[in-house]
Amino acid sequence: MSSAAATTVQSIVEALAGVVGSENVHTDIETLKKYSCDTSLMPARMPDFIVRVMTRDEIMGVIKFANANRIPVVPRSSGTGTYGTGIPMEGGIILDLSGMKRIPRTDTRNRWVLLEAGVTFGEVNEELAKHGMQCLNPLLPRKDKSVITSVLEREPVLTCKTECDEPFRTAELVWGTGELMRTGAMSVDHMPPEDMPDKTHSDLCGCGGPGIDWWRLLTGCQGTFGVVNIMNVKIFHKPLKQKIVFLPFDRIEDAVMPLYTIQRREIGHECFLLNGMDLAAILAEDGADIAALAQKLPNFAIVLNLWGGQFFPNDRIAYEEKAIKDICDQFHCSVSEGLSAVRDANVQLQGMLNSPWQGDVYWKDRAKGACIEIVFQNGLDKVPALWNTFTKLAGDYGLDTRELGMYIQPRQRCRVCHVEFHIPCDPQGADLANVKAFQRRAAETLINEGAFFYRPYYDWADMIYARAGYTFETIKKLKNILDPNHTLNPGKILL
Amino acid sequence: MAFSEIAFKALQDVVGEGNVTTDPVICQSYSRVQWTADGCVQRSQLGVGMRPQCVVLPRSTEEVQSIIKLANRYDFIFIPRGTGMINSAFPNPAQAAMGKGVVIIDPKHMDKIIKIDKNNMYMVIEPYVNFAACQAEAMKVGCSVAVAPAGAQISALANIQWHGAYGNSWISGLGSNQLLSFEVVLPSGEILRSGNIAQEGAEEDWVWNDGPGPDLRGFFRGAQFGHAGGMGMVTKISMRLFPWPGPSVFPTQGDGILKESHFPKDKVRWYMIDFPADMQAYPENEERQLRWACDLQYEIARAELAIVVQHNAKQFMWTWAARSKEEFHKGAEEDFYPHGYTIVGTAAITSVEQLDYEEKVLKSIVEKMGGTFLSENSPDPLDRERYIKWMRITNDWIRVGHSMRLSRPSDCFHQGTACVDSIDTVTDEILRANIAQRKMREQGLGKDLLPISFHGGWISPTEKGYGALMTTDLWPEQEPEKAAQAIQFLLSSLKGMLVDKSAGAAVCLLGPAYDLLGPAFFNVHLIVKDLKKQFDLKNISNPPYATTPDVIAPEMLAEMTKVL
Ligand SMILES: Cc1cc2nc3c(=O)[nH]c(=O)nc-3n(C[C@H](O)[C@H](O)[C@H](O)COP(=O)(O)OP(=O)(O)OC[C@H]3O[C@@H](n4cnc5c(N)ncnc54)[C@H](O)[C@@H]3O)c2cc1C
Ligand SMILES: Cc1cc2nc3c(=O)[nH]c(=O)nc-3n(C[C@H](O)[C@H](O)[C@H](O)COP(=O)(O)OP(=O)(O)OC[C@H]3O[C@@H](n4cnc5c(N)ncnc54)[C@H](O)[C@@H]3O)c2cc1C
């Protein structure tokens, strides 16, 4: 690679081909177009180069070259983006890590799996099944969804147990300058991380350090600080027995105390709440049946997986069931093992707890072809009022409120809830501009009512950071230190 | 050195005359001496040079902000303080050498629990709220907090923003895990907020930590240490609460050192677990014992039970269980606890049936592994006594430990080594430290440390066994040479960890250790130095923490890390 500045497309392609091989550099319009958008319905923007990388050294090579030549680099690990976070704002290189598929080590004693950026939930669960282990899954991720980006984006997992809330253990990454870094217990050497438990006194369990908690700083930055190529994440032992139960509710308000109490009493593993529409989108046999099915399902339902674990599973499930019945008596609600409108709903959902969405059309998109969202995080007690605001506003915009979806994911035994409001829409429909206007307006209204928008997705960064005072100045200073040339994903989170 | 008159005047203007002083007598009481080994060495080096020039007592975030802005204007050093237990990890003549005035910011007036949210399980506190208050208030609403053996008396905020090793780390994790939203006045005087409170409109809600966008807990905290006052002053935090089955008031009986505490058995149960018969001899079987304790902890992790799980080495058993100095020394001589034990506590978080279930599982695991439970009915009368003495104080792992017990043996105390990683790795480090230190002792070094110093090993698994922390502890007496030996032991452990590529080395970067270790750790010191430069333009926030702005020259580094 020459040291002279590369400014022509040809010279850049040559330089990149020198790092990754010409077969992994793409500039044809069809490929570029594919990477210019995602499912967020955010405006597409074109990249100039797609570079597929397979190794850490290739990542370093590409970023060093790009940094020296002030060319943007946008990392992408999943096949499909969801929130506009991987759409290039200022052209440049899309660094496609989705081909990095190694799962070089599983540690059942310390309960982690080491995987590369392109490994999906389906792939890792297949590997873990061989060891009797299970990955901490989010709710029905896309088939091509990278585990590492899910963790980096702090996507909540279905298991509400406090110790499972942050699956991140240690990682290797490349800063925007092209320099290498490792976090936590992985930082004690440069050797391949899969060799470390045998050759060093590090089991890759300590996540902090070196010095400060880089692992946390890297989350939620949408690839603007560094590019992670390999990481180990927490996993858990597959239970010998488990059992899903449902608690149906007419009004969301009535679900609040039962859900708090179930979690406060630490009952079960996976637990979440869906409204009828989202339940139908997941359980309907045919996409066309969703609306009708939603009407037959409870308005809201807590889905709870009672967990027998590895020792005397029947005993464990028995005491959990007894506790659930007490709670139902206390709050005058009911618990059942099934849903009358769907055969074997519990069995179906059981299988979904540790698998990606299997259908060709993603579940959120099944009703109308696409789905845009509102995503925030608050204490559960705040959520009913925010839902009411949201649905009322939807009515004002002429939307059919029965079509709106809701997913509440309690975290850390319901210390907080990750909340998604879903707006199914037709991506080609005449109404799309109205739906998008509604989404923006709803976001603004909810933020003004105290919804905490912890992830600046879509076009929300301006709205969020305008309300964030010196916090944003701090983030900018950090960016200038970690990626002084603003090489990585420029324009995202306003950086 | 006299403190700048105009700076003093300005501080008076901010906090009022009654809340700032340069009186040498008052200031002397704030000098950074504790009964820790480094405090002892520092005192011998600096004498009254350890006395700050001024102490100021703000009442609010706004006043802290003004104080820090004045520090920038008049160029004095400020040290944020909790309760002043431990201000540094290395001897630190650096501050004295800078020739600037030093002001301690004492948060005594910022002592409020601002909010307890029992449903969303968090508590908002100011800097001078101690752990005892947090735990007492939490229990009233059916919750509990992480419990630092450092003591009931320390500032929970200071602890959580800077360190945090807990008696119930099995469920709570480390200090960095307790930190939810936080508010900090940065060294420039700007206010940084992280979590919900960062977002205008959501600021009443202190429930969450990360975002918007990057998780700034990563900027402010490390696994073992935060910035140790080197990145401004934290003025409020929200901390995690955990479910607690009751009782809502801690049961105690007796007075003073005779105080005991016992929970009703339908709420909390304790187990004291002994090794199999064929590995009793200690220290001959130390490694076998510790590996057995690891296997047991991994099994309990697989079973996902309990609220407290730990292995307490012989040294920890007896420093805790002895009620007085006299009793301690007598028992140590008689080898009252001949080796370590595994301690497990379970709680009826779900129901009483849960307690029965967990007991059944625990018994089946221990039985299968050949271990035994001590009890009031143990066949060996000595075992009965060992059990009864431990049960008098075992609740302190939940209540909030009392670090004074740790200082009792010699009136001085120092860490022998520390590590954060897996249960297995931290155990490697205990063995390394104990074996190396015993060998050094045979060669004459550390001969003045109390003998119990050589039988360390607190295996404290975190997050239900996903990780672990360990420490070993040393007891020199309060004399500089003896204290220096303890520090040398720690440094030699550190060197061993570096050479052997132990995870323990990754979590001890702080102060001069950044320069010592940074080059072996992806040059991380250079990034942290950049942070210090960008956020603390004048290098006035408790230097040399978290690190110095510039790389330290080798001779200077040798000077800074010289033990005595
Ligand atoms: C509320 C919510 C619900 C969600 N629900 C679902 C769901 O049900 N199903 C689903 O599939 N997804 C879901 N996600 C999406 C998911 O969290 C994000 O899509 C994902 O985390 C980011 O991956 P991506 O596929 O969108 O984009 P990617 O392009 O893979 O990456 C996202 C961002 O990370 C950066 N990045 C990519 N790779 C790296 C790397 N190796 N190192 C550093 N940075 C990198 C990118 O530049 C980009 O900014 C949800 C997210 C949220 C917030
Ligand atoms: C015998 C002994 C046992 C110990 N055991 C434990 C233990 O089990 N677990 C544990 O976690 N620790 C332990 N420690 C370490 C330490 O004492 C504690 O971590 C404790 O938090 C100190 O609390 P403090 O209120 O005295 O803080 P201080 O000593 O006053 O402060 C600690 C550090 O934080 C900085 N600081 C204080 N307040 C602020 C603020 N508001 N903003 C910014 N920086 C601030 C200070 O400048 C200082 O560097 C132990 C120490 C000793 C000597």
The per-residue pLDDT for range A232-279, each reduced to its tens digit, is 999 999 999 999 999 999 999 999 999 999 999 999 999 999 999 999
Residue B92: predicted pLDDT: 62
- A218–B214: do the CB atoms touch at under 8 Å? yes
Q: Could you tell me if the CB of A377 is within 6 A of ligand 1?
A: no
Span A469-494, pLDDT tens digits: 899 999 999 999 999 999 999 998 88
Calculate how far, in angstroms, residue B193's C-alpha sits from the geometric centre of ligand 1.
25
Choose, out of B208, B300, B509, the residue to mutate when testing the contact with A (most A CBs < 10 Å): B208
- A202–B502: do the CB atoms touch at under 8 Å? yes
CB count within 10 Å of CB A396 equals: 9
In this model, does residue B1 exceed pLDDT 70? no
A2 vs B131, more confident = B131
Q: What is the mean pLDDT of chain B?
A: 93
> In B325-434, which ranges are E strands?
341-347, 372-373, 414-421
* Nearest residue (CA) to ligand 2, atom 34: B228
Choose, out of B200, B361, B522, the residue to mutate when testing the contact with A (most A CBs < 10 Å): B522
- Amino acid letter, residue A465: Y
In this model, does residue A373 exceed pLDDT 60? yes
B34 vs A144, more confident = A144
- B222–A207: do the CB atoms touch at under 8 Å? no
Residue B85: predicted pLDDT: 81
Q: Could you tell me if the CB of B403 is within 6 A of ligand 2?
A: yes
- A111–B466: do the CB atoms touch at under 8 Å? yes
Chain B residues 468-497 with CB within 8 Å of chain A: 468, 497
> What is the rounded end-to-end Cα distance, in angstroms, of chain B?
24
Asked if A171 contacts A219 with a C-beta cutoff of 8 angstroms, the reply is no
CB count within 10 Å of CB A236 equals: 24
| B31: confidence class by pLDDT, cuts 50, 70, 90 | confident
- B243–A413: do the CB atoms touch at under 8 Å? yes
Span A396-417, pLDDT tens digits: 999 999 999 999 999 999 999 9
Nearest chain A residue (CA) to B219: A217
Mean pLDDT is lowest, of A355-364, B35-44, B365-374, for: B35-44
Instruction: Give me Rg for the CA atoms of chain B.
Output: 23
Tokens 């699956």 found at: A167
Residue ranges and CATH numbers for the domains of chain B are 5-105 (3.30.43.10), 113-243 (3.30.465.10), 262-506 (3.40.462.10), 519-560 (no CATH)
Q: What mean pLDDT do residues B322-339 have? A: 95
Calculate how far, in angstroms, residue B488's C-alpha sits from the geometric centre of ligand 2.
22
Instruction: Give me Rg for the CA atoms of chain A.
Output: 23
What contacts B299, CB < 8 A, 6 or more positions away? B365, B369
The half-sphere exposure of B97 on its side-chain side, counting CA atoms within 13 A, is 10
Chain B residues 404-423 with CB within 8 Å of chain A: 419-423
| B90: confidence class by pLDDT, cuts 50, 70, 90 | very low
| B87: confidence class by pLDDT, cuts 50, 70, 90 | low
Residue A298: predicted pLDDT: 98
- B199–A468: do the CB atoms touch at under 8 Å? yes
CA B92 to CA A310: how far, in whole Å? 51
Q: What mean pLDDT do residues B518-541 have? A: 97
Asked if B87 contacts B79 with a C-beta cutoff of 8 angstroms, the reply is yes
* Separation in Å, CA B109 to CA B128, B155, B192, B478: 7, 13, 21, 32
Name every chain B residue with its beta carbon within 8 A of the beta carbon of A451: 202
Helix (H, G, I), strand (E, B) or coil at B539: coil
Residue-wise burial string across A247-266, b where 16 or more C-beta atoms lie within 10 A, e elsewhere: bbbeebebbbbbbbbbbbbb
Confidence (pTM): 0.94
Percent of chain A with pLDDT over 70: 99
Cα B436-B439-B440 angle, rounded to 5 deg: 85
Q: Is A11 exposed, middle or buried (0-12, 13-18, 19+ CB in 10 A)?
A: middle
Nearest chain A residue (CA) to B365: A311
CA nearest to A105, candidates A170, A190, A180:
A170
Residue B229: predicted pLDDT: 94
* Three-state SS annotation for chain A: CCCCCCCCHHHHHHHHHHHHCHHHEECCHHHHHHCCCCCCCCCCCCCCEEEECCCHHHHHHHHHHHHHHCCCEEEECCCCCCCCCCCCCCCCEEEECCCCCCCCEEECCCCEEEEECCCEHHHHHHHHHCCCEEECCCCCCCCCCEHHHHHHCCCCCCECCHHHCCCEEEEEEEECCCCEEECHHHHHCCCCHHHHHHHCECCCCCCCCCCECHHHHCCCCCCCCEEEEEEEEEEEECCCCEEEEEEEECCHHHHHHHHHHHHHCCCCCEEEEEEHHHHHHHHCCCHHHHHHHHHHCCCEEEEEEEECCCCCHHHHHHHHHHHHHHHHHHHCCCCECCECCECCHHHHHHHHCCCCCCCCCCHHHCCCCEEEEEEEEECHHHHHHHHHHHHHHHHHCCCCHHHCEEEEEEECCCCEEEEEEEEEECCCCCCHHHHHHHHHHHHHHHHHCCCECCCCCCCCHHHHHCCCCHHHHHHHHHHHHHCCCCCECCCHHHC
CA B484 to CA B37: how far, in whole Å? 7
In this model, does residue B91 exceed pLDDT 70? no
CA A441 to CA A438: how far, in whole Å? 5
In this model, does residue B281 exceed pLDDT 90? yes
- Specify the DSSP element, H or E, that contains B176: helix B175-178
Mean pLDDT is lowest, of A38-42, B392-396, B399-403, for: B399-403
Span A292-350, pLDDT tens digits: 999 999 999 999 999 999 999 999 999 999 999 999 999 999 999 999 999 999 999 99
* Separation in Å, CA B212 to CA A403, A448, A486: 29, 15, 20
What is B10-39 written as a DSSP string? HHHHHH-GGGEE--HHHHHHTSS--SBHHH
Calculate how far, in angstroms, residue B400's C-alpha sits from the geometric centre of ligand 2.
14
Chain B residues 38-97 with CB within 8 Å of chain A: none
CA B393 to CA B323: how far, in whole Å? 9
Handedness of CA A272, A276, A390, A155 (dihedral sign): positive
Residue ranges and CATH numbers for the domains of chain A are 9-99 (3.30.43.10), 105-237 (3.30.465.10), 242-448 (3.40.462.10)
CA B383 to CA B554: how far, in whole Å? 54
Helix (H, G, I), strand (E, B) or coil at B263: coil
What contacts B493, CB < 8 A, 6 or more positions away? B416, B417, B429, B432, B433, B436, B437, B504
- Amino acid letter, residue B143: C
CA B265 to CA B242: how far, in whole Å? 20
User: What secondary structure letter does DSSP report for B452?
Assistant: G
Q: What mean pLDDT do residues B186-194 have? A: 97
Name every chain B residue with its beta carbon within 8 A of the beta carbon of A382: 205
Mean pLDDT is lowest, of A77-86, A245-254, A399-408, B303-312, for: A77-86
| Residue among A83, A137, A371 whose CB has most ligand 1 atoms within 8 A, to mutate | A83
Q: How far is B82 from chain A (nearest CA, A)?
A: 20
What contacts A240, CB < 8 A, 6 or more positions away? A308, A309, A310, A313
Helix (H, G, I), strand (E, B) or coil at B441: helix
Nearest to A184 among B174, B198, B506 (CB): B506
**What tokens appear for A295 in the block?**
């009407």
CA nearest to B467, candidates A199, A232, A262, A258:
A232
- Amino acid letter, residue B355: L
CB count within 10 Å of CB B2 equals: 8
What is B91-147 written as a DSSP string? ---HHHHTT--EEEE--TT---EEEEETTTTEEEE-TT-BHHHHHHHHHHTTEE---
In this model, does residue B26 exceed pLDDT 70? yes
